[in-house]
Amino acid sequence: MKILKLPKEKLDFFASVVQQFGEVHAPVEQDGKYVFQRLSRWSEARLDYDRTILPPKKYTLPPRETLFQYRAGQGYLPSTEGLDKRIVLMGVHACDVYGLNLLDQVFSGRYDDPPYQTRRKNMAIIGIDCRPDGSCFCRSMRADFVDRGFDLFFYDIGDYYLTLVGTALGDDMVLATGPLFEKASPEDIDEYKRRSSSKRQAFQLEVEIRDLPEIFEMEYQSGIWDELGEKCLSCGSCSMVCPTCYCHDVADDAQLGSRDGGRNRSWDSCLFAAHAAVAGGENFRNSRASRIKLRYYHKHRGFVAEYGRPGCVGCGRCIAACPVEIHIGDVIAKLRGIQNAPSR
């Protein structure tokens, strides 16, 4: 892995050069919050953001997409709309890169998903380091640093970005900019280590995940789930903003009066009342308590059993999005029998 440095004053020039690799998207500010979207000019980019409303999964797993269409006399026609679009996504935090890495495991493993894989292949990732706020706990989830899943990763070291080159595509980007990047010096490495240590100490929220799957097994019948069920609105906001939630609904959209139509996939949530409803009117998770318990168990018990780590990256989006202020730190602290709520 190459280690270089890029002058901050040259970042806009770098962004203009990498347009040859795809549409440049980055965080922009909207009404005091941040969203990933295509830049019309570099001045729109806000690389000092805390978190975007939606994570990068909106690019690889769109909120709604047509999987295929069917036409009388033609059969099934796979939908390819937008699959060939190349995107350069700049300013991705380590936790969100980690989230994409987890989704890669889901959609390239037992359940192969060609549309997801095609979009992922056509998306270049340029990561950037961040400073934690009161809702960040990515360090607790071991997602505050990534060593794969990105093409380039920038670390602020003052007047420069220390740059890790993660892939051949990232190396091509460096080469395309000519002499823009410089060799990192020992002083640059020392500054990186100093800032890395400072970042570790800046985390305000800590969530202990050691033996957490076992704690969940022990607390399956806990009254905590009923308390959360009384509070939860089942709005699904936490699922929609989560970098690793991938539940979706598949439905046919038939054109009335014909035999034509399409099959669509759209985001779903295990918190929705209809998520576990089946034919005949049966619902396996009719209560809100059972649904919110399922969400926590899938993230912190089932995901560990399947993929070897929790399905949470500590980005804090669920904390920021919940309209009734359900806080994952509080929930886990109560399950552990800790009386004092986590700092925030």
Q: Give yes or no: residues 83 and 134 share one domain.
A: yes
Q: CA angle 120-122-125, nearest 5°?
A: 70
**Are 88 and 23 in contact, with CB atoms under 8 Å apart?**
yes
The β-bridge relationship of strands 152-156 and 123-128 is parallel
Domain boundary among 167, 202, 237: 202
**344 domain-assigned:** no
In a domain, 190, yes or no: yes
Residue 342 belongs to a domain: no
What CA–CA distances, in Å, run from 90 to 11, 86, 161, 199?
11, 13, 13, 21
248 is a domain residue:
yes
Same domain, 179 and 35: yes
Picking from 168, 202, 236, the residue at the C-terminal end of a domain is 202
- Residues 172, 41 share a domain: yes
CB 344 within 8 A of CB 204: yes
46-50, long-range: CB < 8 A, 24+ apart: 46/91, 47/90, 47/91, 47/128, 49/91, 49/130, 50/130, 50/133, 50/136
The residue written with tokens 């969100």 in the block is 96
Other CB atoms within a 10 A radius of the CB of residue 66 amount to 17
Q: Within this chain, do residues 137 and 178 fall inside the same structural domain, yes or no?
A: yes
291-321: burial string, b at 16+ Cβ within 10 Å, e else = bbbbbbbbbbbbbbeeeebbbbbbbbbbbbb
Domain that holds residue 160: 2-60+68-202
113-144, pLDDT tens digit by residue?
999 999 999 999 999 999 999 999 999 999 99
Is the same domain home to 198 and 297?
no
In a domain, 343, yes or no: no
Looking at the structure, tell me whether residues 163 and 193 fall in a common domain: yes
Looking at this protein, which amino acid is placed at residue 1?
M
pLDDT of residue 258: 86
Q: Are residues 123 and 243 in the same domain?
A: no
Give tens-digit pLDDT for 138-173: 999 999 999 999 999 999 999 999 999 999 999 999
Name the phi and psi angles at 194, rounded to 5.
Answer: -65, -45
Q: How far apart are the first and last CA of the chain?
A: 36
Based on the fold, state whether residues 22 and 56 are members of the same structural domain. Answer: yes
Tell whether 34 and 98 lie within a shared domain.
yes
Nearest CA-CA partner of 192 in 168, 224, 218, 158: 158
DSSP conformation letters of 155-198: EE-SSEEEEEE-SHHHHHHHHHTGGGSEEPPHHHHHHHHHHHHH
- Are the C-beta atoms of residues 51 and 315 closer than 8 Å to each other? yes
Residues 299 and 175 in one domain: no
Strands of the chain (E only): list them.
2-7, 23-30, 33-38, 64-71, 75-78, 87-92, 123-128, 152-156, 160-165, 182-183, 248-254, 261-267
As given in the structure block, the two tokens for residue 84 are: 């060939």
What is the rounded CA–CA span in Å between residue 129 and residue 136? 13
- The whole-angstrom separation of Cα 88 and Cα 47 is 14
In this structure, are 176 and 219 located in the same domain? Answer: no
Q: Which ranges of the chain have pLDDT less than 50?
A: 343-344
Q: Comparing C-alpha atoms, which of 225, 237, 221, 153 is closest to residue 192?
A: 153
In total, how many domains does the chain have?
2
CATH of the domain at 111: 3.40.640
Which domain-ending residue is among 202, 229, 253?
Answer: 202
- Asked if residue 233 and residue 155 are part of one domain, the reply reads no
Q: Is residue 312 part of a domain?
A: yes
